Amino acid sequence: MSAHDTALIVVDVQESFRHAPYWDASELPAYLSRQQALIDGAKAAGMPTVQIFHVDTDAAFRLESGFIRALDEICIDPDVTFHKGVHSALVDTGLEAWLREKGISRVIVSGIRTEQCCETTTRHASDLGFAVDFVTEATLTFPMTHASGRVFTADDIRIRTELVLANRFARIVTVEQALAPLLTAA
């Protein structure tokens, strides 16, 4: 593993979410700290950073909404940006071709929402043959209510996501674990 064959994928870290009915900022400070540490560490290691934005017909996710931009608190200078209209950042975006052109064999996945676009991108990348590190602490999600009425907390959702991804589709790591091989090789 090196910074030359690894890319950081920052999925849907965009202002659109502040305007979604399920937005919950209670875990935002911790998430922002870890996401920024991952972005900064990738930059320090010379690793390419990919920014993904979700665009669809929901008001806050339309291009013309003005919310298709990084969360205000995040400082990111991506090497490339792609727009997606489905959960996986690898469907009809050009991301896979860009990764292969750059000789990337390992991706580090972070962003918003843990169990949706981050998990889907992770599974898809793994199925395409990429090694994947999933940095749960650098993902954000929101409580969800099951049809039975049971409320799943953001922590419940993160635990479930780790359970289904671990050792099948990804290596579950902290920010420091994701960056360690890159910083020691530098």
Residue spans per domain, the chain: 6-185
Fold of 6-185: Rossmann fold (3.40.50)
Long-range contacts of 24-27 (CB under 8 A, 24+ apart): 24/142, 24/143, 24/154, 27/140, 27/154
DSSP secondary-structure letter at 54?
Answer: E
Mean pLDDT of the chain: 96
The pLDDT of residue 161? 98
Dihedral class, residue 92 (left if φ above 0, else alpha if ψ from -120 to 50, else beta): left
- Tokens describing residue 104: 């990337």
For 183, the enclosing helix (H) or strand (E) is helix 175-185
In the predicted model, is pLDDT for residue 160 greater than 90? yes
pLDDT digits over 1-32, tens only? 677 899 999 999 999 999 999 999 999 999 99
Residue 185: pLDDT band (50, 70, 90) is low
Average pLDDT (71-83) is 98
Inter-axis angle of helices 28-45 and 175-185, nearest 10: 10
pLDDT digits over 44-63, tens only? 999 999 999 999 999 999 99
pLDDT digits over 102-146, tens only? 999 999 999 999 999 999 999 999 999 999 999 999 999 999 999
